[in-house]
Amino acid sequence: MTGIRRSRAGGEQPAGFDPGPGRGYMAGMKTVGKRREPAVSATASAELLKAGARLNEAAHGLPGAGSTFIPKGVYRFATLDEADRHRNACLAQGMARLARERS
């Protein structure tokens, strides 16, 4: 293990790496924002349900959010490449249709 040393936390760092006192692997990282994720609990919360409903409504309001652009049906493909080509073709046609509708 030439050139690698173990840190006190158990991770590996390059030889000669010194993050400074109390900095560890966070050295040089910047914190952006202070929002905290809500804790997961076993009981439901009306406020979290309302927030989820608002997010769902906002997502459905985005252009093209209601469609995958793939027509309904059962598709059978011999290879994954063939399935990818079909998906890409449907996506391109759907995006072109959206662009025509917007212009």
The verdict on residue 78 lying in a domain is yes
The verdict on residue 74 lying in a domain is yes
The verdict on residue 97 lying in a domain is yes
Q: pLDDT grade, residue 89 (50/70/90)?
A: very high
Domain count, the chain: 1
Q: pLDDT grade, residue 54 (50/70/90)?
A: very high
Q: What is the mean pLDDT of the chain?
A: 78
The verdict on residue 9 lying in a domain is no
Among 9-23, 59-73, 86-100, the least confident range: 9-23
Tell me the residue range of the domain where 101 lies: 70-103
- Give Cβ neighbours of residue 7 (< 8 Å, ≥ 6 apart): 13, 24, 25
CA distance 71 to 100: 19
Say what the pLDDT of residue 20 is. Answer: 59
The verdict on residue 45 lying in a domain is no
Say what the pLDDT of residue 13 is. Answer: 58
User: Which residues in the chain belong to E strands, given as ranges?
Assistant: 4-6, 12-14
pLDDT at 97 over 80: yes
